[in-house]
């Protein structure tokens, strides 16, 4: 019999026990695997439940914390006032009159009677040219006139005598007519001589160069001692009128209807000139005129405003910002532009209520100018409008408020 019991046909007890032991161990391993699987599933379910509850608790806690959190904001009380509406444009200061002072006669420049940058009035003496050549011409013209006057008087005496002789039939008619013609010729010479005298006086007057306008003298272009001519292109100096002065600026053609509507009420609309940064007002004036056509290349129309410029705050060729007042909305509810918020539903503001919570309130904007808005619906005078810190706000949020004053709409650049 073989050791394994195969040849004898009898069962082998050792092998049976071994197979039974292997089967028992496999069953226990399978049972343990199922047990660990159940434990794993239960653990995952517990973790999920606990984490979900923790998240819910955290969200609830965060919501409760947010509901009790105080957000610092800045708010401005809505006011009632007039909103001025302007048309703004870049302008150039231009002088009403600019004159290059030139000599009208030739000669040597003797004196210069002005200081560079001096304010002069019309008729003030600016320079003098050597007058002696023109005084000589005047003397010669006056001498010729005197000689011709004496000759005319002699011719008149001769004519009177010849007339008596003709009446006595002593003198022929032809001789009388010749003498009468001679008197006429001398009378014509007298008129010519008078013209020559007047011309000499005029040339002598031109040797004294005076200011044709009131304004400011620029830099001197010719020094005394130089020979100057009436045909010189440079002249002696340039005088620019500063009072009054003009500002030329252009506005878009789309603003023309509102401008024309305003000009029907007041043709001389107020215009203010500001510096380049639009922070300081330089001068106040009024609209003088508009151009008669639109520039098709730019789609703008030119306007000219007049300024008294008594303090000389405007200077020729200076760039300024011109603001033309075209409309005023009286008794409007005014808020800062920073308080206006926009969403898909429209425009709204955050209003601070008496209990220090905020309310989202839809509004209707009537008009705007710079940093000021006119509200026609949604805000009442005295309402606190949040202008800073709105990014942290929600409906009903609690806030701590710092108030400020809204700048007047009339002074807003």
Which pLDDT score is estimated for 410?
47
Which pLDDT score is estimated for 184?
87
Cα angle: 76, vertex 78, 83; to 5 degrees: 115
CATH of region 86-96+241-329: 2.40.30.170
Spatial neighbors of 281 by CB under 8 A, at least 6 apart, are: 272, 273, 274
The DSSP bridge pattern shows strands 398-404 and 70-77 to be parallel
pLDDT per residue as tens, the chain (413 positions): 444 444 444 445 454 445 545 455 555 556 666 666 667 776 676 565 555 554 445 544 444 544 558 889 889 989 999 998 899 999 999 999 999 999 999 999 999 999 999 999 999 999 999 999 999 999 999 999 999 899 888 888 888 887 888 888 887 888 888 888 888 888 898 999 999 999 999 999 999 999 999 999 999 999 999 999 999 989 999 999 999 999 999 999 999 998 998 999 888 899 999 998 888 999 999 999 999 999 999 999 999 999 999 999 999 999 999 999 998 889 999 999 888 998 888 899 999 999 889 899 999 998 888 889 999 898 999 899 998 888 888 888 888 887 665 555 544 44
**H-assigned helices in 168-253:** 173-206
Which pLDDT score is estimated for 229?
94
Q: What's the CATH fold of domain 105-239?
A: OB fold (Dihydrolipoamide Acetyltransferase, E2P) (2.40.50)
**H-assigned helices in 168-307:** 173-206, 256-265
Residue boundaries of the structural domains of the chain: 12-67, 70-82+330-411, 86-96+241-329, 105-239
Which pLDDT score is estimated for 62?
44
Tokens of 354: 């008496």
Which pLDDT score is estimated for 37?
67
Residues of 117-141 as b/e, b for ≥16 C-beta within 10 angstroms? eeebeeeeebbbbebebbeebbeeb
- Torsion sign across C-alpha atoms 144, 150, 151, 153: positive
How many CB atoms sit inside 10 A of residue 256's CB?
A: 15
Which pLDDT score is estimated for 56?
46
Statement: 70-82+330-411 belongs to CATH 1.10.3720.10? no
Which pLDDT score is estimated for 171?
79
Tell me the per-residue pLDDT of 145-188, one tens digit each, with 9 for 90 and over.
999 899 888 888 888 887 888 888 887 888 888 888 888 888 89
Side-chain-side CA neighbours of residue 369 (13 Å): 26
Which pLDDT score is estimated for 322?
95
Tell me the per-residue pLDDT of 276-291, one tens digit each, with 9 for 90 and over.
888 899 999 999 999 9
């Amino acid at each position: 019999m073989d050791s394994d019991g195969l040849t004898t046909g009898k069962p082998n007890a050792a092998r049976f026990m071994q197979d039974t032991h292997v089967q028992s161990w496999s069953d226990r391993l399978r049972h343990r695997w199922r047990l660990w699987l159940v434990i794993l599933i239960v653990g995952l379910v517990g973790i999920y439940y606990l984490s979900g509850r923790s998240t819910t608790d955290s969200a609830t806690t965060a919501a409760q914390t947010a509901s009790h959190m105080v957000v610092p904001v800045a708010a401005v009380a809505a006011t009632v006032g007039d909103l001025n509406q302007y048309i703004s444009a870049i302008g150039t200061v231009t002088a009403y009159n600019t004159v290059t002072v030139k000599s009208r006669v030739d000669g040597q420049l003797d004196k210069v009677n002005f200081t560079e940058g001096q304010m002069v009035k019309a008729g003030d003496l600016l320079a003098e040219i050597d007058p002696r050549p023109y005084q000589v011409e005047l003397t010669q013209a006056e001498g010729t006139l005197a000689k011709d006057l004496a000759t005319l008087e002699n011719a008149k005496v001769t004519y009177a005598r010849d007339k008596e002789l003709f009446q006595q039939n002593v003198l022929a008619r032809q001789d009388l007519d010749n003498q009468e013609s001679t008197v006429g010729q001398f009378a014509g010479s007298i008129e010519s001589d008078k013209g020559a005298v007047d011309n000499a006086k005029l040339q002598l007057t031109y040797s004294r160069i005076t200011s044709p306008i009131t304004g400011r003298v620029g830099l001197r272009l010719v020094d005394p001692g130089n020979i100057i001519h009436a045909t010189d292109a440079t002249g002696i100096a340039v005088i620019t009128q500063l009072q009054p002065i003009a500002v030329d600026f252009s506005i878009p053609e789309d603003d023309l209807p509102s401008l024309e509507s305003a000009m029907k009420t007041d043709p001389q609309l107020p215009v203010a000139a500001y510096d380049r940064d639009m922070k300081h007002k330089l001068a106040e004036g009024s609209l003088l005129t508009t151009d008669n056509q639109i520039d098709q290349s730019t789609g703008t129309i030119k306007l000219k405003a007049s300024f008294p410029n008594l303090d000389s705050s405007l200077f020729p060729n200076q760039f300024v910002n011109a603001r033309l007042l075209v409309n005023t909305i009286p008794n409007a509810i005014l808020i800062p532009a920073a308080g206006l918020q926009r969403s898909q539903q429209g425009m709204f503001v955050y209003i601070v209520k008496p209990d220090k919570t905020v309310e989202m309130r839809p509004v209707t904007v009537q008009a705007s100018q710079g940093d000021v808005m006119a509200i026609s619906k949604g805000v009442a005078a005295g309402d606190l409008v949040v202008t800073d810190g709105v990014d942290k706000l929600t409906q009903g949020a609690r806030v701590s408020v710092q108030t400020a004053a809204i700048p007047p709409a009339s002074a807003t650049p």
